[in-house]
Amino acid sequence: MPLGLLGKKLGHTRVYNAQGELIPVTVVLAGPNRVLQVKTQAGKDGYNSVQLGFDDQKEQRLTKPLLGHIKKHNGVAVKRIKEFRDFSKEVKAGDVVGATLFAPGDYIDAIGTTKGRGFEGVMKRHNFGGGPSTHGHKGWHRRGGAIGQRLFPGTVLRGFKMPGHMGQVSRTTQNLEVIQVLEADNLLLIKGAIPGSEGDYVVIRESKKRPKGWKPAVATVGKKKAGAAKPEAAKK
């Protein structure tokens, strides 16, 4: 996880790019992130990482061990703490980082907790088709069907798709493009949707599948390669 930030999902809007195209974006408050601790390979921790804190908090609302850890490194009380391994930017305890870690055109992964949907049936939770609406199927329009077994194994199989709690789990959306960086407000405008509700905390990290500076391949469909001989010339 070379670069990353803690942030808060604020909402959605649309912006125009340089070509005049309308792009839907998610607005993320990505700072200020305070550096609470820097761990090194040569130190007692045995690995390189950076601990970031986000969203200031009252000291009396933190547990004594957590507050003691923060005070040990001369930090301030925060609501969220996240450790990023192999942080590629040189920082020290007490520094403040923000949205400027990323630039327009960078690709990121967004990690958040999905919206809680409560107890849901198989059609909404697992996209089942449901039963027929005619020919005597009374009361079986939205059910999952039989789940029983015969003599062997005589029990419901583990992992069977059934009604139950839906949502409120950690999910990662990969390869989202940063459209704009508003340095004054510590805002990132990210193309597409991010897991979670408005006001939820999210983790923004560098994309694992698309390295920094990655550009999409130029389409060559319908274009003739330079120097290619024409079919008529080849026959002669």
Domains and CATH numbers, the chain: 4-127+160-230 (2.40.30.10)
- Please give the pLDDT value at position 102: 93
Write out the two tokens for 122. 């198989």
For 40-186, list the strands marked E by DSSP.
49-56, 78-85, 96-97, 107-113, 116-120, 164-167, 170-182
Q: What is the pLDDT of residues 81-113, one digit of tens each?
A: 999 999 988 998 889 999 999 999 999 999 999
pLDDT of residue 225: 52
**pLDDT confidence tier of residue 60, bands split at 50, 70 and 90:** very high
Residue 1: pLDDT band (50, 70, 90) is: low
pLDDT above 80 for 226: no
Average pLDDT over residues 20-26: 94
Residue 107: beta bridge partners?
Answer: 177
Asked if 38 and 93 count as a contact pair (C-beta separation under 8 A), the reply is yes
What is the rounded average pLDDT for all residues in the chain? 88
pTM: 0.81
Q: pLDDT-based confidence at 229, cuts 50/70/90?
A: low
**Total Cβ atoms within 10 A of residue 136:** 6
Q: How many CB atoms lie within 10 A of CB 119?
A: 9
